[in-house]
Structure 1
């Protein structure tokens, strides 16, 4: 039987690949033979990811919230003869913001979070889908958050809204793209200590807050970035050939 997790004939593009979930996803695909394109706005860090992944991984700097940058990214890939089979829209986050009362949020702060978490997923999917339609195969996997299904631990209104919007985009694109054998699915991680931003969030909870958080997790422990990567591998694999428009919560149980 063919290994459903053999990606040696696939090219995977991962955004937000400089650290955390993105780096773990790149490593998981690389270890299973894929050609990986690691993208991030942090050039030095994404270069580190590519070095960890090995010869079949290239690093490209790009701001996925910019239509012009996304167009340039895919033009660069086309010039290299690279066509994307699997797109993982992982880039996101709170862009350095903290929760504050609604009346204090500026429109610029709102826009900055929506731009990377929702607009970026839209722009990258839009750019990738033409080649996927031509080859009648594609996998788009969006990384949202438990905040998109409930409320955000950060209290940041734009983050919860953008992640919920990304889940809506997932479902809509699944129905639109299904006739071309393109699946669109979503992984909604729970809180994972995977990057400097989540480390600060963890520290801000304090010991009592940390205990309360873990007590609210069914498995009574935090997960790891690799847990998110494994869910992505499933959606990208042959085992998920008839799975689309779905949201998989990877959060230890709530």
Structure 2
């Protein structure tokens, strides 16, 4: 399968590390004009340096996805500079340093902050990109959720499981709303991957026995990598996935 994104404009959120970095670098390798954003400036610069070293430079922008004005500004800039928006990857999210606690100990602000970055950020970017995609009568939106959105959070974080489930609901709803303009909206639900400092701490917290138990519960008997997630995203963004929308693809090694 020959997948190329020459001449396409791609926006990737949460690109300073992990999945987002792998996704941004993969699109750049395939010829896309990539606008990679995050709130972590050092990580963004590392992503830019890796892409530059590979001979496939990309654009990095410091952007808070919970700030709608900043989201609109980034999308407007990308559209003005390239004339189009072809692919949006809503990868930014996570647990924001929170840990599992009993329900009665979760504050309203902790609950809302996870929803803001995992759901509202994806909504804001989709809302900003939709007019450009409608005008082109084509586009791809790929949301990155989690196995937690299909089941339960391994760490017991209620807001995270709920927010990722909500993001999956948003995916299906937007697929039906935007389909008549040739815009597909799909979702990738990764399993556990050691992709950033948060997941590394989680992995270490399991201890040797817990780590082995987690791996044994995977059909392929190994953990995946950020590149495994990037591969699924590139497929959904490709011409080969033109009649696939509203779907959730679990990329988890088999459960």
Deviation at 1:51, TM superposition (A): 2.2
Q: What is the CA deviation profile of residues 165-220 of structure 1, one whole-angstrom value per residue up to 9, with x for unaligned ones?
A: 00000000000000000000000000000100000000011111111111111111
Task: Kindly report which structure 2 residues correspond to 1:129-208, keeping only aligned pairs within 5 A, or say none.
Answer: 129-208=130-209
Deviation, 1:163, is 0.2
Q: Distance in 1 between matches of 2:208 and 2:241?
A: 40
Provide the residue aligned with 2:119 in structure 1: 118
Q: TM-score, normalised by structure 2?
A: 0.96
TM-score, normalised via structure 1 length: 0.96
Query: Could you tell me how far 1:240 is from its partner in structure 2?
Result: 0.1
In structure 2, distance between residues paired with 1:177 and 1:231: 21
Return the alpha-carbon distance in structure 1 between the equivalents of residues 182 and 216 of structure 2: 41
Q: Give me the whole-angstrom Cα distance separating, in 2, the residues matched to 1:145 and 1:49.
A: 23
Checking the alignment, whether the CA contact within 8 Å between 2:11 and 2:89 is kept in structure 1 is yes
Distance in 2 of aligned mates of 1:229 and 1:71:
25
Contact 1:4 1:239 in 2 (8 A): no
Q: Which residue matches 2:64?
A: 63
Q: Is the 8 A contact 2:168 2:187 kept in 1?
A: yes
CA contact (8 A) 1:4 1:237 kept: no
Is the contact made by 2:149 and 2:168 (CA closer than 8 Å) also made in structure 1? yes
- Whether the aligned pair in 1 keeps the contact of 2:153 and 2:161 (CA below 8 Å) is yes
Structure 1: runs of 5 or more not aligned:
none
Unaligned runs of at least 5 residues, structure 2: none
Aligned residues: 252
Work out whether residues 146 and 188 of structure 1, in 8 Å CA contact, stay in contact via their aligned partners in 2: yes
Which stretch of the first structure deviates more once superposed, 54-63 or 215-224? 54-63
Which is worse superposed, 52-61 or 241-250? Answer: 52-61
CA-based RMSD: 1.2
**Pick aligned residue for 1:32 from 17, 30, 33:** 30
Correspondence for 1:50? 48
Inter-partner Cα distance in structure 2 for 1:212 and 1:50: 37
